[in-house]
Amino acid sequence: MWLQRTITLAPKPRGFHLIDDELISSIPELKNINIGLMHLLIKHTSASLTLNENADPTVRHDLERHFNHTVVEAAAFYRHTDEGDDDMPAHIKSSIIGVSHTIPITNGALNLGVWQGIYLCEHRNYGGSRQVVITVNGE
């Protein structure tokens, strides 16, 4: 079985946001798959997807602070500045973190680690809604 769906995530503030429930609820067919793969792609250049700690919200806070420290805003050497000081850093963060993931499906559920969750990494101050393409293959 193959399935592909594009979902739109509501706008979220800048930061790292758990989106597991939003993704899983958009694919009710997932419960019928014994073995397979789910591929996720965010269709944006200023946001990204990652897997990380799903229990302690301080991890999300620390990730945001780390990337803001590592990839500074308003650097004098940036040439791509038409959309504001957060624009070029958002592109850099998206390239570092990545825009896609493939996750195994086992017995009707995502086969993630006990403490793993899927994050939308919103790198813009006002990023707006975000589209994620979900492709599922399994039996």
Domain with residue 62: its CATH number is 2.60.120.460
Pairing mode of beta strands 130-138, 35-42: antiparallel
Average predicted confidence (pLDDT) for the chain: 97
Encoded tokens for 26: 């958009």
**Distance from C-alpha of 136 to C-alpha of 139, rounded to nearest angstrom:** 10
| pTM tops 0.85, yes or no | yes
Token pair recorded at residue 62? 């620390």
In tens, the pLDDT along 87-122 reads 999 999 999 999 999 999 999 999 999 999 999 999
Q: Which domain does 19 fall in, by range?
A: 2-138
Domain count, the chain: 1
